[in-house]
Structures are given as structure tokens and as C-alpha cells.
Amino acid sequence: MVYPRNEWYVACFEDELDAGAPVSTQVLGSWLVLWRAGKSVVAMDDRCVHRAARLSQGRCEGDSLRCMYHGLRYDAVGKVVEIPGQDLIPESARVRTYAVEVRCGWIWVWMGNPAEADRGRLPNLPDQVSLSDFITGAGALDFSAEARLISDNLLDFSHLAFVHASSFGADLAWAHTPMKATLLERGVRAERWIENSSGPAFLNLSDTCDEWLGYDYLVPGVLVMLNGVFPKGTAELSGFRKPDLSLAIGGLALNVQAVTPKTERTARYYFLTGPHRNFGDEASRDAMVAINHQAFAEDKLMIEGQQIILDATPELTLMPTIHDRGITMYNRLMDRLSMIAEPL
């Protein structure tokens, strides 16, 4: 597995820490423990310096975390501050900590050197919107497959026409007209206008409309997407680029997704979804979360099937199609970043 370590990966949901107990998670093959030291979140290696017991089986004690095997206590920078029965604490008695940020309800961990942690690389929401404009819900699925297969899936929406025909009600047009793909500095932008559409059934429009969907797929595996319904003519008016969102007449929604490689053959797929406050409520959010769960389970079946075949056929060569432009762009970017990163 070669993934860049100098990047932000989602390690867990923020509210998993609310119970006051440490949380164990695996990112890029490393076991981490996440816990709250007062108000700040700490991520560190999930192993006691003493005998490698899991600190995630330990106990939060205010600003410190106690290993519950022989009682060593750690502070928020990973230093051992107590060894029961022993006065001297060696200087080397510390575990590696990781830079941490909270965003979109998720704990993001910088897997490289904390001193190099670059907050500028955290994903931003699109211009014109903020998270509080939306009523959002979240979920996650574990995949028995390499994280890159999930990224490949998300970089080619032509699969909607086949994998998600029923869950998302996607039509064949998704497969027949590739999205416009543009290389960004740290990702790929995919955009799509459908003009003169009858619009989603639930809007019950009297006139035809223009539908817009655009997302950035960012290193190391983050999707940020907006879509909505606009008055007929908006596509042309916008030069077939991203519209002024204030023109939306319905269906405006946000999706954020993050793919975390756990090991070479396992990954966790996080998602957040919901309608804009002007165009939906808690009920529509719950419906969107439910449909996402259904759709991503469809992806999971397909992707875990791919993994079985790839494992049984290591020498396999794939054959790109016209829809793979975004995948190729993105994978070149990742390969370049992984080469300059320390290997796992």
C-alpha cells in the first residue's frame, strides 16, 4: 500500500469521543487511539510504550489517558507522566502523536510528521456555502477492498446508470455523456449540466429545468459535491460552469465523502449528506442518508467483487474507457504524491 502520509485522513466521527472513552481506529495500517484531553482531541499510537497494550482499552482521566494494563498514564502530547510504583520516568517514554483537526463532524488526522501538518490541505466546502446552510446526516461503511477502488468508483459517475439505477434512480444519460473533468492542483473537478430536464419527480415542476451537479475529488480521497435544480436556461447563462447557487429552485444538496485506507485490503468510507435549509428538512435529510446507505452498499458489493478478482489475478491489465479520464488524472496525482511521501 502506497498512500501519502503527509495528508489528512478521517479517523473517526467526532461524536464517537462523546462517551468519554478512548476510540481505536486504523489508518494506513497504523492503529491509533483517539481521545479527548479536556476540550482538545488527541490522536496517538494505540500502544503503550511498556508492553504494547492497547491504549484504546485504557481510561480517560481528565487531561490524561491511563493504560489499564499496568497503569501507565499519558498526557496529551503522548508523554508518560506516571508509572505506578516507579519514580523515574525515562525521557523516551512517549508515544507518537498526530496532528488532528475536526471538520464536518469527523476527526481528521495528519499521518505524517506533525510539524509539517498543513491545515491548508483540509478540504473546504465550495464557495457560496457553509456547512450550517445544510441539514446534514452522516454514515460510514467498511469495505473489504483497497481504498483506491473506492476512489476509482467516485471518479467515474457513469456507474450510476448501472449500479444505482434503482437507489438513486439514475438514468442511462449518466453513462452516455461523460462529465467534464478538470485537473485541479490537488484533485479532479467533475461537472455536469442537464438542460431541459423534467426535474426530479418530488419537485413536481410545471416547466422544464436545468440540473447541475459538480464535485471536487481531492487527495487523498475526499469528495465535496453540490447539486441542484435551476430555472431553464441557467446552464447557458452560467457558461455551462458552476451556477450562482442563489438561483436554485429546488433540490440543492451537499455531499461530503472521505475514503480512509485502513490496511492494504480494507478501507472505511465516510459520508455526509443533506439538503440546503431552503429546500429540505430533517425528513428529507433522513431519506437522503438512507438512500446513500443503500447506494453505497451497492458500490461495496461491486468493489469487493473487484477485489476478489484482482487478488485471484495479480497479473491483470485493465482497459480504460472514455469515462476513466478523471481516474487517470487523479491516480497520476496520487502516484506523484506517494513517491515523495515516506512509504507506509
Question: Is 79 near a second copy (CB under 8 A)?
Answer: no
Pick between residue 155 and residue 249 the one whose CB is nearest to a second copy.
155
Least distance from C-beta 309 to a second copy, angstroms?
5
Cα–Cα distance measured from residue 270 to residue 266, given in angstroms and rounded to the nearest whole number: 13
Question: Is 314 near a second copy (CB under 8 A)?
Answer: no
Least distance from C-beta 47 to a second copy, angstroms?
5
Question: Is 21 near a second copy (CB under 8 A)?
Answer: no
| Residues facing 110 on adjacent strands | 8, 99
Pick between residue 37 and residue 175 the one whose CB is nearest to a second copy.
175
Residue from 246, 313, 314, 340 in contact with a second copy (CB under 8 A): 313
Question: Is 68 near a second copy (CB under 8 A)?
Answer: yes
**Element counts in the chain: helices (H) and strands (E):** 6, 17
Which pairs with CB-CB distance under 8 Å and at least 24 residues apart come from 338-343?
338/2, 338/3, 338/4, 340/4, 341/2, 341/3, 341/4, 341/5, 341/6, 341/7, 341/112, 342/5, 342/112, 343/2
| DSSP E strands, 153-208 | 180-184, 187-197
In 10 A of CB 202, how many CB atoms? 9
Query: According to CB under 8 A, which residues from 174 to 213 bind a second copy?
Result: 175-178
Q: With contact defined as beta carbons under 8 Å apart, do 252 and 226 qualify?
A: yes
Q: Which residues are within 8 A (CB) of 287 and not within 5 positions of it... i.e. 6 or more apart?
A: none
Question: Is 249 near a second copy (CB under 8 A)?
Answer: no
Site string for a second copy, 125-164 (x = CB under 8 A): ---------------------------x---x-xx-xxx-
Site for a second copy, rule CB under 8 A: 29-31, 46-47, 49-54, 57, 66-72, 83-86, 90, 92-93, 152, 156, 158-159, 161-163, 172, 175-178, 301-302, 305-306, 308-310, 312-313, 316, 318-323
